Each structure stands twice: as C-alpha cells, then as structure tokens.
Amino acid sequence: RTSATALETYAGCAFRYYADRILKLRDPEEDFNARHAGTIRHHVLETFFKEQYQGPGSRVSSQKIEAFVEKEIKTALAANPLIFEKRYQYPIALAELKDSLCEFLEAELKRLQTSQLQPRPDYLEISFGAGKNPKLPPLEMEIGGRKVRITGIIDRIDVDEKGQYGLVVDYK
C-alpha cells in the first residue's frame, strides 16, 4: 500500500523519497509550515469552488478573488497557524500565500472559461482508499505479480456539461 504522493516523490527524486519516507529526515519548522500552508491552500481553493464559482460563464473580479482569499486565509490560519523563528518572515509568507492563491484562481478561472469542454468543478477533495471514509476504493494494480494499492486524495475533478469527460486537477 502506498500513496500517490509517495510515488510522485519517488519519481521526482529517489533520494528525497529515501530521506523522507525511509530515514524520516525532517526540518521541523519547514515541515510544519509546509503542511499548514498546504492545508490553507486546499481550504481556500475548495471553499472558493464550493461557494464562489458559478459555472463556466461566470466572471469573478480580481478584487473579489483577493478579498475572498484574504478572508479564507484568516479563517484557515485559526486552525493551521504558521510559525516562524523571525518575526519579519510571517508577513512575507502570508503575502506569498495570498499572491500565489490569487494568481492560481485567476488562471484557473480563465482556463475553465476558455475550455471547449466547458468543464465545471464537480468533485472536490475526493479520497480514494485513504482516510476514515474514503469515497472511492484504492486504485489497485498488479506489478511483477504483486498487487499494489494506491491511495490518496484527488484535489478536484472537473466534468464536462454532458458528464462524459473528466479532468483530474492536482494543486501541487
């Protein structure tokens, strides 16, 4: 049993996989903030597509996106604080987080609006074989005579108007 993220790490750099997954080497501050920043990003994006996105023809202004992102970052920070050794690092990290989320949302909205398929984000944070209540079973593959179960969470699945085509979106 392995996760999609573990496979991605291994494919990207076998040594990083070895250091992270086998030796379990960690930088406590970096690991903590990276996890929390990732959770914040996912919260903002999931909430945006649940509450703000009205479909391929809808328009959301840059100002509305920025205000939404600021509000949701504050909400998510309550449960996922970022901690830095030096005080000046905090506002820099928040600004980078906000800017990257705003840029991503603007690019995603443009992609959704200009796609010929007219996709809509129908599924958000869908677990497969992971967590307490997975919505889908794990992906099972046979490799070299051994059955491998891959688990994980799909960030988003966009589906076309007719429900014939889907696009899996990973926020990394």
Angle at 171 between CA 166 and CA 172, to 5 degrees: 130
pLDDT at residue 2 greater than cutoff 90: no
Q: Tens of pLDDT along 8-29?
A: 888 998 988 888 888 988 776 6
Mean pLDDT of 69-81: 97
Question: Which residues, in sequence order, are CB contacts of 106 under 8 Å at separation 6+?
Answer: 62, 65
Nearby residues of 112 by Cβ (< 8 Å), 6 or more positions away: 53, 56, 119, 120, 121, 158
pLDDT tens-digit profile of 94-117?
999 999 999 999 999 999 988 888
| Stronger pLDDT, 37 or 20, i.e. the higher one | 37
- Is residue 167 within 8 A of residue 154, CB to CB? The reply is no
The answer to whether the CB of 82 falls within 8 A of the CB of 90 is yes
Measured between alpha carbons, how far is 74 from 95 in angstroms, rounded to an integer? 12
pTM score over 0.85: no
- In whole angstroms, how far apart are CA 55 and each of 3, 42, 137? 32, 20, 29
How high is the pLDDT of residue 58? 78
Q: What is the pLDDT of residues 52-72, one digit of tens each?
A: 988 877 789 999 999 999 999
Please check whether residue 120 is in contact with residue 56, taking contact to mean a CB–CB distance below 8 angstroms: yes
Give per-residue pLDDT as tens, 151-160.
Answer: 989 999 999 9
Whole-angstrom Cα distance, residue 118 to residue 160?
6
